[in-house]
Structure 1
């Protein structure tokens, strides 16, 4: 069985079920559960919650309160609950954990996913308890099994959960550090889990304004893909994008160019849409406009050079918002883009952008 299936649809063990309910109840359950699966597929959150609750109630009649199917249905219902039901979600996940302990034992790997879900629900609830005891119990299970990859993945889930709340930042940092230590010591450099964690560590370093450390980590990711894989991967594209921004932040535009070009080779240019900048500087809001609470926008046409720089800027609405034009042009000159490729060669290309000036409410 695969663990760390956090946030996914729980699967029913229909073949092993001990069915007690009437044929009508079983038929109703089947219809409700199929409708629930369709609601999940169509991302209809309202119907998903309603049908998940109905399936859980019917499942208790069919399988009994302590059957694995019932626990899976409870997990589906807990996951479908809206934020206003945070207390109910925590209570249900605690019930799932207790039921799983009874079925599989207090050190079973089947407990890991419910414990992770309970941790997240507890953090979202925002009570004094941070949920650490639950995630630490999951980590202890992996340690007892001497499964270092599993231990790393649980620590990583913990880091992602705690990073969602600013007050848990130190705790998140600790879990991320432990994940990185386990990966560095026990996983090959080209393991996808290790690469994903490297992306998070790079983001953490960027947030701390340690841009050189982030650059080193991101370059390692790119090198792993270049040396080990003969196909393009979204993570590689993302790492190149982050490197453009990181190099620009340290004033090394020349180094950023390599990654602008690499992205262009991986992502075709589309003349029909506005190009997305790889790095952008926000324009400075004109002081007088701010003083008089004036808002506006500037529409610009420009050329993206074969190196991804911006040249030949033209204001498309020159008679409007005149005070916003100069800061718009100044900011746009610092942006970087992935250039257009034609027949395997980078070429100049035209693009447009609208820069909006809006005051905060």
Structure 2
């Protein structure tokens, strides 16, 4: 939710000039804000923080304290703060909430983003229950707005905030369940929001080792894209990749093959890059080597079959001990890959990997 809000703000800010700011201040602000946007686009987190702060301080002079553009700049500044400034971040989000209530009212939809941001910051700060009031306030606003999609999205944001903490896992599950109930009742099957929630529900089911339930959800996502949507989307790729994992964990390797091949069509093989497995098992550390404090690395070359299985494994550094070699081969045989396609046909392809055996110190 916040991303879409800030995306709108970015378009508004620079075309809003204030009669109260001098021309020099306005120009300095424009430069600072443009530099901030560039830092965001280039993932330069250090500059992003400093420039967000500068834009916020200048923005107060350009737009005036307590105005919506200034509050948007304050949100950008708060969001950019590093982890060691959580106390300062919480305080600024509180100021934004109070100012937004004053600018609108205590039940304005404009409050939802600031309330959720404050709740998120409190959870990340380790505050045990302070977040609850703010999430419930946001949910109340969404519910009484009679916008069912908004209510679903706020529940979903609440779930995502709380899933980051084991302490709040049960409450997060409740918010996710409510989101899912709203979506099933009110949203079309091809709603991207509903599909995203389906994947979160699938991840929750997989985490509880309910792999068949996860498979059902993920299959639904794939079917929706196949039957209702005529474009590729990261959700579809993600669903296929998680289906490979789910089927492998249930022992149905052949069912996983369909999704290995689907991913290969969506993400072509690149000979210049090391291939990333869709499913992998970590090798078991040889007990004798562990007791002796021995470490090692095994380099392997292998063939990825047209069905995405691993065959013809060859050790490239045979000087490594047999125990490490055998453990590596046993694990690698369970891995799955997206096969290589040439002229529309899946073909065998060679890849390689290094498996490291390191003891915790």
TM-score, length basis structure 2: 0.95
Q: Given that residues 190 and 229 in structure 2 are in contact (C-alpha distance below 8 angstroms), is that contact kept between their aligned partners in structure 1?
A: no
Pairing of 1:174-193 with structure 2 (within 5 A): 174-193=174-193
1:228 alignment partner in structure 2: 228
How many Å apart are 1:273 and its aligned residue?
A: 1.9
Q: Indicate yes or no: 2:125 matched with 1:128.
A: no
How many Å apart are 1:4 and its aligned residue?
A: 6.5
Structure 1 runs not aligned, ≥5 long? none
How many Å apart are 1:176 and its aligned residue?
A: 0.6
* Structure 2: distance between partners of 1:317 and 1:4: 48
* Structure 1: distance between partners of 2:262 and 2:139: 39
Please state whether the residue corresponding to 2:188 is helix, strand or coil.
coil
1:36 alignment partner in structure 2: 36
Change in 2 beyond 3 A, CA 1:239/1:22: same
Q: Given that residues 7 and 79 in structure 1 are in contact (C-alpha distance below 8 angstroms), is that contact kept between their aligned partners in structure 2?
A: no
* Structure 2: distance between partners of 1:65 and 1:200: 39
Change in 2 beyond 3 A, CA 1:158/1:8: farther
Q: Indicate yes or no: 2:321 matched with 1:321.
A: yes
**RMSD across aligned positions (CA):** 1.8
Q: Given that residues 301 and 316 in structure 2 are in contact (C-alpha distance below 8 angstroms), is that contact kept between their aligned partners in structure 1?
A: yes
1:75 alignment partner in structure 2: 75
Query: Which of 53-62 and 226-235 deviates more?
Result: 53-62
Structure 2 runs not aligned, ≥5 long? none
Q: Given that residues 295 and 358 in structure 1 are in contact (C-alpha distance below 8 angstroms), is that contact kept between their aligned partners in structure 2?
A: yes
Pairing of 1:56-75 with structure 2 (within 5 A): 56-75=56-75
* Structure 2: distance between partners of 1:140 and 1:75: 22
Please state whether the residue corresponding to 1:313 is helix, strand or coil.
strand
1:293 alignment partner in structure 2: 293
Q: Indicate yes or no: 2:70 matched with 1:89.
A: no
Change in 2 beyond 3 A, CA 1:15/1:282: closer
TM-score, length basis structure 1: 0.95
How many Å apart are 1:18 and its aligned residue?
A: 4.4
* Structure 2: distance between partners of 1:158 and 1:65: 29
2:247 alignment partner in structure 1: 247
Q: Given that residues 17 and 26 in structure 2 are in contact (C-alpha distance below 8 angstroms), is that contact kept between their aligned partners in structure 1?
A: no
Q: Indicate yes or no: 2:48 matched with 1:45.
A: no
Deviations 1:212-267 (A, max 9, x none): 10011111111111101223222111111111110110111111111111111222
Aligned residues: 360
How many Å apart are 1:63 and its aligned residue?
A: 2.4
Q: Given that residues 296 and 356 in structure 1 are in contact (C-alpha distance below 8 angstroms), is that contact kept between their aligned partners in structure 2?
A: yes
* Structure 1: distance between partners of 2:170 and 2:6: 24
